[in-house]
């Protein structure tokens, strides 16, 4: 395959079209009228759905490969948005996002894999466990918040004990109910109600949610003590976390009791349930939740922690709580993204969650502009299409060495980007829905203050 | 959870009672420490020879980490940059020595120049030449990287420099993996000198080629000794440089306050370049010794040792030179003992868990100074 100028042009057009689609989507979601909003979302969904499914000539506009890129871009957007909440908006330099992504992917994949093999216990234990652990955390939070000056390690130990107890209870109850439900699956010849296609979709939806909440709970337990560290040390601890998670994945069949994950050989046989509907739904959910957090009083508190911890404390903001909040929500997004990804790709290997690959979300949010949601979304989509497009373009020239060449050109792009535009592609621009609603000043005198850009990137430190 | 709550205090948990619960957290850590201690003591008494053997291999690893960690800690101390490309400089050092030995037979030059020289002297001078060449190339490379990639970003936000460092690291790894550079395969490393192994069993005996040492005897090799001696010498030399010379004084001044140092007439750019060069030279030395000790190299060789050395620097308190040394020794032992007694595949996980636990107890590392409040 030679370098084909038509192919190059088509790739560029696709990137531009995707970005235009994002712009349209964000404008439509931000529209004042409810009907335009709902209709616009449906239209935005249908445009891509038609491009994927309706063939024009021999193949649809978006080939299988392209729609795969689209799903990957959606999951990457979720992960990167979560990291942007943690680092871009809250200023906590985290390298552990990829670990939470991996946790989400493996957790969701395990649930649906077991369900696929007529084992309801996986879903029940995980679901019950997540709910019970969540309840225990909330309960302990109420108790512990009444005590002043409790050392963070003691709080951590109490939470840990509570979580272990809740997990054990969930394990026993969930496994018992799961056993009882097994007959409802029927046999291979006569599948029962639980083995139907509809249940597969429902279980997928539940599994992704459970995986997200599970990742969030892990991040709560991990973040509680570690978020007390200074910025660089926090980054290193989270990097360590993502390496520990990766090691656990490699040993999931020997050290952890999950033989179906097959350790370093990679988990196969995950049902490929993710389609454009699910990817779009979860993407939209994540974007809306993210936007509503950022443009609320919570979001302003989160950003004030980034600007100056001491000053925020003086204003009565509970710095530790807001750090933890953004960390947990960011990990929730990563977990959901992982669940969606696992069911698109159908195969998970620890190599996918290697810490070197884990720099990608960080690079994306810096590319898009720290503290810019639009930048993150555009950069995620652009990055996936650009890298894959680059691969195919070089493929003609370099043959089998193409993947390596891609990673030679990619850091050079990165270096040029950092040297020429260190504030990121879009800076602090936000599109449509993601923009801060303008607050009309009451009178001329009151509006005479210096305008403050809320979403601005952290100043040089 | 230091949330101020104005609601009525519950009966059994009065407000302000939290501090009394400090023993829970301490107890948790103490139980973990006791568990580790129990495993260590038990394994020591079960088989002291094996224990000593594991400690020796841990020392060998730890001293290599120490050589790499010095570069991390120096660079961080002066420009506050996590130089992710440092591990790849280590890899380049190993490859330079590989080409010098396997392609150009550089380690045999004294024999060609002075026929009749005794073979042991040839090996000594030749190996030192190879090592010096690797150190020099690494130093030049690091200074080039610093000038091209990091210097333009000195006043940019720190994240830009960090992303650049990651980019440089990716570039070195994947450029090295190209077929006409280092190739993506594992390459058997040709040593400039033979590795000799001794065993201790009523005196020190050399292990003859093709035979195994008697079971239960402690073995050690010349490369382990060379690594330890070289690492300690370099550490002392660096201490001397930093504490006793004008350059060292300038380095300390730059690390303390860059602007003030500039006002005092110190050429800050030059000092930063020198720091990068010294760190990279140490990494190059570490790379050669590592490759001699574990003779199989490839283009991503530097990632994990680099990362662990970095963790070691953090463990000891990043920015502190003795801290990097101590941290590296702890990392080496942790890795070796975990591999020996708990589980080989889990050794990275345990090493990083130790890092996280140490950071929780001492948030700026063992030798680190408490972080200054942001101005």
Asked whether the predicted pLDDT for residue A455 surpasses 60, the reply is no
A457 vs B25: CB contact, 8 Å cut-off?
no
Strands of chain B (E only): list them.
187-188, 197-200, 204-206, 218-221, 296-297
Q: Is A164 part of any domain? A: no
C-alpha R_g of chain B: 24
pLDDT in tens, A391-402: 666 665 666 666
Number of domains in chain B: 1
In the prediction, which pLDDT does B371 show?
60
**Phi and psi at residue A382, in whole multiples of 5°?**
-60, -40
A255 vs B2: CB contact, 8 Å cut-off?
no
Neighbours of B70 (CB within 10 A): 28
A461 vs B158: CB contact, 8 Å cut-off?
yes
Q: Is A145 part of any domain? A: no
Q: Give chain A positions within 8 Å (CB) of B324.
A: none
Counting other chains too, the contacts that A249-255 makes at CB distance below 8 Å and 24 or more residues apart are A249/A102, A249/A106, A249/A350, A249/A353, A250/A350, A250/B345, A251/B343, A251/B345, A251/B346, A252/A106, A254/B345, A255/B343, A255/B345, A255/B346
B61: domain range?
Answer: 48-361
For residue A111 the two structure tokens come to: 């649930």
B192 touches B133 (CB < 8 A)? no
Chain centre to alpha carbon of residue A404: 27
Q: pTM here?
A: 0.89
For residue B71 the two structure tokens come to: 């570069």
Q: Is B314 part of any domain? A: yes
Mean residue pLDDT across chain A: 86
pLDDT in tens, A45-70: 999 998 888 887 777 777 788 888 88
Domain CATH code at residue A354: 1.10.3470
Q: Is B312 part of any domain? A: yes
Q: Is B354 part of any domain? A: yes
A356 touches chain B (CB under 8 A): yes
Find the CB nearest B171 among A226, A411, A461.
A411
Domain CATH code at residue B201: 1.10.3470
A429: domain range?
Answer: 5-118+186-434
Q: Is B29 part of any domain? A: no
Q: Is A363 part of any domain? A: yes
Q: Is B138 part of any domain? A: yes
In the prediction, which pLDDT does A444 show?
55
Q: Is B30 part of any domain? A: no
A153 touches chain B (CB under 8 A): yes
A120 touches A212 (CB < 8 A)? no
Nearest Cα residue in chain B from A409? B171
A residues 259-318 lying closer than 8 A (beta carbon) to B: 308-310, 318
Asked whether the predicted pLDDT for residue B6 surpasses 60, the reply is no
Q: Is B303 part of any domain? A: yes
Nearest Cα residue in chain B from A357? B170
> pLDDT band at A171, cuts 50/70/90?
very high
From the number of C-beta atoms within 10 Å of its C-beta (0-12, 13-18, 19+), residue A44 rates as buried
**Residue in A408, A421, A423, A456 to test binding to B, most B beta-carbons within 10 Å:** A408
Number of domains in chain A: 1
A457 vs B157: CB contact, 8 Å cut-off?
yes
Nearest Cα residue in chain A from B308? A240
Question: Which ipTM value was assigned to this complex?
Answer: 0.85
pLDDT in tens, B102-147: 888 888 888 888 888 888 888 889 899 999 999 999 999 999 999 9
Provide mean pLDDT across the span A275-302.
Answer: 93
The distance between the two most distant Cα atoms of chain B, rounded to a whole number of Å, is 93
In the prediction, which pLDDT does A183 show?
80
């Amino acid at each position: 395959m030679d370098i084909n100028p038509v192919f190059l042009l088509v790739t560029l057009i696709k990137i531009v079209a995707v970005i235009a689609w994002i712009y349209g989507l964000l404008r439509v979601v931000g529209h004042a009228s409810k009907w335009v909003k709902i209709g616009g979302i449906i239209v935005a969904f249908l445009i891509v759905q038609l491009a994927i499914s309706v063939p024009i000539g021999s193949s649809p506009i978006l080939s299988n490969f392209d729609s795969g890129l689209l799903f990957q871009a959606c999951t990457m957007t979720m992960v990167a948005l979560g990291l942007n909440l943690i680092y871009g908006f809250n200023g906590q330099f985290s390298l552990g996002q990829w670990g939470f992504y991996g946790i989400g992917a493996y957790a969701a994949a395990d649930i649906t894999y077991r369900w696929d093999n007529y084992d309801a216990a996986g879903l029940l234990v995980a679901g019950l466990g997540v709910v019970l652990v969540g309840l225990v955390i909330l309960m302990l939070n109420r108790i512990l918040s009444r005590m002043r000056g409790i050392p963070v390690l003691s709080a951590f130990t109490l939470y840990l004990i509570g979580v272990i107890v809740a997990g054990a209870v969930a394990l026993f109850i969930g496994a018992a109910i799961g056993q009882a439900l097994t007959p409802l699956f029927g046999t291979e010849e006569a599948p029962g109600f639980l083995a139907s296609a509809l249940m597969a979709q429902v279980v997928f939806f539940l599994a992704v949610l459970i995986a997200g909440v599970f990742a969030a709970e892990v991040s709560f337990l991990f973040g509680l003590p570690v978020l007390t560290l200074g910025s660089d040390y926090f980054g290193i601890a989270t990097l360590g976390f993502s390496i520990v998670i990766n090691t656990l994945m490699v040993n999931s069949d020997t050290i952890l009791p999950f033989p179906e994950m097959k350790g370093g050989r990679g988990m196969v046989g995950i049902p490929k349930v993710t389609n454009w509907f699910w990817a779009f739904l979860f993407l939209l959910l994540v974007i809306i939740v993210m936007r509503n957090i950022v443009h609320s009083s919570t979001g302003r508190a989160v950003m004030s922690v980034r600007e100056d911890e001491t000053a925020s404390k003086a204003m009565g903001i509970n710095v530790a709580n807001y750090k933890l909040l953004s960390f947990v929500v960011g990990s929730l997004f990563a977990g959901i993204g992982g669940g969606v990804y696992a069911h698109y790709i159908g195969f998970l290997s620890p190599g996918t969650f290697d810490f070197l690959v884990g720099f990608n979300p960080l690079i994306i949010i810096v590319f898009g502009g720290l503290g810019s949601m639009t930048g993150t979304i555009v950069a995620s989509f652009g990055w996936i299409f650009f890298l894959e497009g680059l691969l195919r373009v070089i493929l003609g020239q370099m043959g089998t060495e193409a993947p390596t060449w891609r990673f030679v050109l990619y850091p050079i792009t990165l270096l040029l980007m950092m040297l020429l535009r260190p504030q990121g592609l879009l800076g602090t621009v936000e599109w449509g829905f993601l923009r801060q609603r303008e607050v009309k000043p009451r009178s001329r005198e009151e509006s005479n203050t210096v305008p403050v850009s809320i979403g601005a990137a952290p100043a040089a430190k | 959870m230091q949330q101020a709550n104005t609601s009525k205090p519950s009966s059994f948990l009065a407000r302000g009672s939290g501090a009394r619960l400090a023993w829970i957290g301490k107890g948790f850590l103490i139980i973990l420490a006791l568990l580790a201690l129990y495993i260590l003591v038990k394994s020591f008494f079960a088989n002291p020879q094996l224990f000593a053997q594991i400690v020796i291999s841990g020392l060998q690893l730890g001293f290599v980490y120490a050589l790499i960690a010095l570069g991390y800690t120096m660079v961080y101390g002066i420009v506050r940059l996590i130089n992710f490309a440092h591990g790849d400089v280590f890899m380049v050092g190993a490859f330079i020595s590989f080409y010098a030995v396997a392609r150009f037979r550089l380690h045999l030059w004294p024999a060609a120049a002075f026929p009749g020289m005794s073979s042991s002297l040839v090996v000594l001078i030749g190996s030192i030449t190879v090592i010096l060449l690797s150190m020099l190339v690494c130093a030049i490379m690091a200074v080039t990287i610093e000038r091209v990639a990091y210097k333009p970003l000195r006043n940019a936000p720190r994240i830009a420099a960090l992303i650049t460092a990651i980019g440089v690291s990716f570039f070195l790894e994947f450029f090295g993996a190209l077929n006409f550079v280092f190739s993506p395969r594992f390459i058997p490393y040709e040593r400039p000198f033979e590795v000799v192994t001794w065993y201790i069993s009523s005196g020190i005996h050399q292990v003859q080629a093709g035979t195994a040492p008697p079971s239960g005897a402690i073995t050690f090799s010349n490369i382990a000794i060379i690594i330890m001696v070289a690492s300690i010498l370099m550490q002392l030399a660096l201490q001397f440089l930093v504490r006793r010379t004008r350059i060292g004084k300038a380095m300390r001044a730059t690390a303390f306050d860059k602007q003030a140092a500039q006002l005092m007439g110190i050429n800050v750019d030059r000092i930063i370049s020198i720091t990068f060069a010294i760190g990279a030279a140490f990494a190059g030395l570490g790379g050669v010794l590592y490759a001699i000790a574990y003779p199989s190299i490839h283009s991503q060789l530097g990632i994990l040792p680099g990362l662990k050395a970095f963790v070691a620097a953090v463990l000891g308190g990043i920015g502190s030179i003795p801290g990097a040394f101590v941290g590296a020794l702890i990392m080496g032992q942790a890795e070796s003992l975990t591999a020996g007694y708990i589980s080989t595949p889990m050794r990275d996980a345990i090493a990083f868990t130790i890092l996280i636990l140490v950071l929780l107890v001492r948030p700026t590392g063992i030798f680190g100074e408490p972080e200054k409040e942001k101005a």
